[in-house]
Amino acid sequence: MDVKNYIIRQISVFSENKPGRLASIAKAFQEEKINILAFSIAEADGFGVVRALVNLPDKAFQKLTSLGYNVAFTDVIAVKMKDEPGGLFEIAELLGEAGINMEYAYAYSGKEAAVLIIRVDHVNEAVTRILSKGGTLLEAKIFS
């Protein structure tokens, strides 16, 4: 098992909290025919961070940087959940037992299953622990 297979490159964009910023980022993706697979906005006082999993992360990085955005790649992992009552609980409990501390998390519910995307401090170790507890991680190649 190669943990690298499960580490997904999320794109993070610094954005001021003002009208039109999201549209500007989304437009850039559209122009480059980049598909967004998952997406969240974290908001603080006056600014925010837009986080997205996209099918063409390098292209997205290039395009946004050329537009002057402050962009960074962040390693995250995606845990598969059952799309039914108790699905999140099952996974959250597993993460707790595995001693994994989340920096942040967001989720989406897709056609096949629900997915919890998490950022953790020690990503390699988290992958190993989740798998050893019987969790299912989505492989990075699904997102590209």
Partner 1 sequence: MAMWDHQVEAMPMEDLKKLQYRLLKTLVYRLYSFSPFYHERMKQAKVHPDDINALEDVKKLPFMYKADLRDNYPDRLFTATRDELVRYHVSSGTTGKPTVVGYTKNDLDNWTNSLARGLVSCGLGRGDVIQVSYGYGLFTGGLGLHYGAERIGATVLPTSVGNTERQIELMQDLHATAICCTPSYLLHMGEVAEKMGVSIKKDTDLTTGILGAEPWTDVMRSRMQEWLGIKAYDVYGTSELSGPMFIECTEQKGFHVWSDLALVEVLDRDTGETLVPGEAGELVITMLQKEALPMIRFRIGDVSVLDDEPCRCGRTHPRIRRIQGRVDDMLIIRGINVFPSQVEHTLMSIPEVGQHFQIVVDRRGALDDMLVRVEISKDAFSDKINDLMQIRSKVEHKLRNALNVGVNVELVEPGSLPRFEGKSKKVIDRRNL
Binding residues for partner 1 (CB under 8 A): 10, 12, 14-16, 42, 44, 46-47, 49, 51, 68-72, 74, 103-104, 119
Could you tell me the smallest distance in angstroms from the CB atom of residue 72 to partner 1?
5
Could you tell me the smallest distance in angstroms from the CB atom of residue 62 to partner 1?
14
Instruction: Choose between 15 and 78: whose C-beta lies nearer to partner 1.
Output: 15
Instruction: Choose between 43 and 84: whose C-beta lies nearer to partner 1.
Output: 43
Retrieve residue 41's tokens: 């906005």
Going from the C-alpha of 95 to that of each of 2, 34, 50, 53, 92, the distances in angstroms are 20, 31, 25, 21, 5
Instruction: Choose between 135 and 143: whose C-beta lies nearer to partner 1.
Output: 143
Instruction: Choose between 67 and 89: whose C-beta lies nearer to partner 1.
Output: 67
In this structure, are residues 99 and 106 in contact, taking their beta carbons and an 8 Å threshold? no
Going from the C-alpha of 113 to that of each of 4, 39, 84, 136, the distances in angstroms are 22, 16, 9, 11
Could you tell me the smallest distance in angstroms from the CB atom of residue 10 to partner 1?
8
Beta bridge partners of 75: 9
